[in-house]
Structure 1
Amino acid sequence: MTTSLFDLKGKTAIVTGGGSGLGRDIAKVFAEYGANVAICSRKLENCQDTATEIENEYGVKTMAYECDVSQEEHVKRIVESVIADFGQIDILVNNSGATWGEKVEDMPLAAWNKVFDVNVTGTFLMSREVGKNMISNGSGKIINIGSVAGMKAESGEVLNAIGYSSSKAAVHHFTRDLAKKWAEHDINVNAIAPGFFETKMTRGVLEKSGDKIRNNNPMKRLGDPDSLKGIALFLASNASSFITGQIIAVDGGSSL
């Protein structure tokens, strides 16, 4: 009975930014529990490598797509392709993200816009297009990847990326608002707010302030590849059927 709560067999998940990092980890755990997986990002080669690895390891249907989530026509085309290839979309993970490290007084407008275009507009566009299919099917699970940076302000010594933190706060509120609006369609919308994980995006920050970040964390460590898998599986499965509009921090207590 417990296993069936987390069973994703027969489901199709689309994971943006799924070719590497946290998105790759999420795509793999979905496949481990039986879901077919569509992986998309701007770097098709990464997606193809991950799709091949997942298909060989878990035997589920996995396909790779090139998509810039900030571009409306890209999103429409990819969602149409995934529906044509898989039949429907049951789970969406909005994981594609961008950041820009700079002092506020020196941050270019183009950098601010780039971060918001990917993190906020991309989340909106993917949710809108996939949501049409979910509304038609009468159910769905949307998981947005926010950040602890969108829950609390950090000193410039730790994180100087106001565009990123502001965009993730916007993702959190988008999650709550959309959850309330689409609850009538039996679509659960939740967000995961990771703390500091060792990824390509955080490499520069961790090289500069890694020891301080670890020491300030109640658990005295960073997130590892397995730290996000459980909550992603939970939010994608029937185990979370009565949970919506929640922002769940996975951060070792750093947001406390």
Structure 2
Amino acid sequence: MYAIDLSGQSALVTGASRGIGAVIARRLAEAGAAVAINYRSSGAEAEAVVDGIRNAGGQAIPVPGDVSDEHAAEAVVKGTVEQLGRLDILVNNAGVNRDRLLMRMTTEDWDQVLTVNLRGTFLPTRHAVPLMVRQRYGRIVNISSVVGLSGNPGQANYAASKAGQIGLAKAVAREVASRNITVNSVAPGFIEFSDSGGMTADLTDDQRGQILSRIPAGRFGSADDVASAVLYLVSSGASYMTGQTLTVDGGLIA
């Protein structure tokens, strides 16, 4: 079996206090990376993730900051490097949704989702890339969504932001590939997790059944499914993959 060893590497996961981000952070730590747990307001939850990693023998630190804010994003990246010594892996996971049909969507709904999801990916990436260029190594993964590839009614803002993350990854990948830096995206489908609900949290039994009937794998995904894709993309085994999007959706949009 191909074992992924990230010993000696440092990672920053944005929006990692819960949900998919927390699971990604734990998996990176299990593989040997020192992990910075970024959060905006969920300090207690972030500390719990840090404590869990430390109690399991890993290395983790909390790094507060709103990565959609210019100065805060810079501080988050700098804080990571100051405390962990370097930055090898950046996982842009922070995100929100404000779902409603376009005719009812407010400008505030649009701006908030695009700001957090897309600007909040651009800013950490912009501040991380010069560090990675200097060390001639880096792995960047954007947590997008299948919605960014297929669209979905009631999610025009979310779909636009997630499609933007994929386009951003493709463009930056071309800019930095010669410096041994890869930039890829993971596009999850319907994911279930216990601590913060996920896309399936508010579904009725009928809705769950309808969606499951469209998924060839016959089940919803887990945060571990997403984390496994991330772990692969930041590993040495994916060194020749860049500008790509891995869909983790059980075949939903195959």
What is the TM-score normalised by the length of structure 2? 0.94
Q: CA deviation at 1:45?
A: 1.8
SS at match of 2:52: helix
Find the aligned partners of 1:163 and 1:94 in 2 and give their Cα distance.
18
Q: How does 1:224-243 map to 2 (within 5 A)?
A: 224-243=222-241
Q: CA deviation at 1:205?
A: 4.8
Find the aligned partners of 1:220 and 1:60 in 2 and give their Cα distance.
35
SS at match of 1:227: helix
What is the TM-score normalised by the length of structure 1? 0.93
Change (3 A) 1:65 1:253: same
Indicate whether 1:180 and 2:174 are aligned.
Answer: yes
Match of 1:142 in 2: 140
Match of 1:12 in 2: 10
Match of 1:54 in 2: 53
SS at match of 1:231: helix
Change (3 A) 1:243 1:26: same
Indicate whether 1:206 and 2:222 are aligned.
Answer: no
Q: Which amino acid aligns with 2:181?
A: I
| Contact preservation (8 Å) 1:179, 1:188 | yes
| Contact preservation (8 Å) 2:191, 2:200 | no
Runs (5+) with no aligned partner, structure 2: none
Q: Which amino acid aligns with 2:199?
A: T
1:163-200 Cα deviation digits (max 9, x unpaired): 00111011111111110011122110000000010243
Q: How does 1:36-185 map to 2 (within 5 A)?
A: 36-42=34-40, 43-57=42-56, 59-154=57-152, 156=153, 160-185=154-179
Runs (5+) with no aligned partner, structure 1: none
Find the aligned partners of 1:221 and 1:133 in 2 and give their Cα distance.
40
Q: Which amino acid aligns with 2:177?
A: A
Q: Which amino acid aligns with 2:76?
A: I
| Contact preservation (8 Å) 1:31, 1:37 | yes
Indicate whether 1:195 and 2:181 are aligned.
Answer: no
Q: CA deviation at 1:206?
A: 2.8
SS at match of 1:228: helix
Q: Which amino acid aligns with 2:54?
A: E
Judge which range, 37-46 or 103-112, deviates more: 37-46
Find the aligned partners of 2:102 and 2:208 in 1 and give their Cα distance.
22
Find the aligned partners of 2:211 and 2:191 in 1 and give their Cα distance.
11
Find the aligned partners of 2:241 and 2:202 in 1 and give their Cα distance.
33
Q: CA deviation at 1:131?
A: 1.2
Find the aligned partners of 1:207 and 1:244 in 2 and give their Cα distance.
38
